[in-house]
Amino acid sequence: MYLSRTARRLLAAFTTIVVFVLYFPLGYVARLSVATSRGFGRPRGFSFDAWSRTIDAPGPRDALMNSLLVASEATAVALVLGTLAASALTRFRFFGRHTVNLMIVLPIALPGIVTGIAFHSGYERLGVDLSVMTLVAAHATFCIVIVFNNVAARMRQLGTSLEEASADLGADQLQTWWYVRLPMLRSALLAGGLLSFALSFDEIIVTTFTIDGGFKTLPAWILENMFRSESIPIVNVTATFVVLAMIVPVYVAQRLVDSTPSRG
C-alpha cells in the first residue's frame, strides 16, 4: 500500500518512541543501581558499591539458586509434555481435539491469580503441604503451552513427508521420533525451553499462592524487600541483574524462532 514519505517517517518515529518507552524504566532501574544518591529522584553519582554489597548478600544468592532450580524443573516437565501434546494435535485428528487445544491454552489465558488460587485449593483439598514440588507443578502447567506453541508451529511447518519417508524405510515409531522428528525440532525445543525457563524464572503471581513460605524465588525475594528502604539499593541491583540475565536466553530463543523470516 502506498504510504507517503512523511507517513513512513511518522511510523518510524512512533515505533522508535514506543521501543524507547519499553526500555526506559528498565534502564532507569539499572541507572539507580549504580547511583550514589538514595531514593527514587534523579539518580546522581556513580559507584558499584551496591553491586558488591549484593554479591556478598546471602538473600539474593539463595533466591537465585532457588529460581534456577524451579525454572529448570518446570521447563523439563514442560518440554516433555508440550512436545507430546504438539505431536498429538498436529499429527492426529480426533474427537475433542479443539477442547484439548483450549485446555492447553487455558493456563495462560486465565489470569494468573485464578491459576494460583486453583492450585492452592487443590493442594489444600488433597492435604498436600506446599513445597518446591507444588510450586514446580504449578509452573510446569503454564509452561507447557509455551513449548507447545513453539513445537506445534514447527511441526506444522515441517509437514509429514520426512516422517513418512522414515516409516517407509522401515523405521518404527520410536526410531522416527528419535532419528527424524526430534532432530528437526531441535531449535524449536531450544526456543520453547528457553522461553518457558524465562517465564517460570520471572513468575510471581502463581508463585505467591503455591510457594512454601520459607522458600524464596528471586521475584519473591524482590517483592519482600521492595518495601524495605535499607534493601532498596540491593533490590535495584538484583532487579537489574534479573533483566540482564533474562536478555541472553530470550535473545537466543528469538534468533532461533526468527530463523525463517517471511514476507508474503
Residues 48-67 that bind other proteins (CB under 8 A): none
Residue ranges in 123-152 that form contacts with other proteins under rule CB under 8 A: 124-126, 137-138, 140-141, 144-145, 149
Residue 199 C-beta: closest distance to other proteins, Å: 7
* Number of residues located near other proteins, criterion CB under 8 A: 112
Q: What per-residue string of b and e applies to 24-38 under the rule 16 or more CB within 10 Å gives b?
A: eeeeebbebbbbeee
Among 57, 69, 76, 117, binds other proteins (CB under 8 A): 117
Residue 135 C-beta: closest distance to other proteins, Å: 13
Residue ranges in 14-33 that form contacts with other proteins under rule CB under 8 A: 14-15, 18-19, 21-23, 25-26, 28-29, 32
Single out the segment in contact with other proteins by CB under 8 A; choices: 35-43, 47-55, 62-70, 183-191.
Answer: 35-43
Asked if 1 is part of the footprint of other proteins (rule: CB under 8 A), the reply reads yes
Question: For residue 55, what are the CA distances in angstroms to 26, 29, 39, 232, 234?
Answer: 20, 17, 21, 14, 9
Question: For residue 204, what are the CA distances in angstroms to 15, 130, 165, 222?
Answer: 30, 15, 46, 10
Measured from the CB atom, is 69 or 133 closer to other proteins?
133
Residue 64 C-beta: closest distance to other proteins, Å: 13
x-or-dash pattern for other proteins, window 157-196, by CB under 8 A? --xx--xx--xx-x-xxx--------------------x-
Calpha distance 16→10 (Å, rounded): 10
Residue in the block written with cell 523405521: 171
Residue 179 C-beta: closest distance to other proteins, Å: 14
Measured from the CB atom, is 11 or 65 closer to other proteins?
11
The sign of the torsion formed by the CA atoms of 202, 205, 208, 210 equals negative
Calpha distance 121→44 (Å, rounded): 48
Residue 45 C-beta: closest distance to other proteins, Å: 16
Residue 134 C-beta: closest distance to other proteins, Å: 10
Instruction: For the chain, give the number of residues.
Output: 264
Residue ranges in 200-259 that form contacts with other proteins under rule CB under 8 A: 202-205, 208-209, 219, 222-223, 226, 235, 239-240, 242-243, 246-247, 250-251, 254-255, 258
Measured from the CB atom, is 69 or 117 closer to other proteins?
117
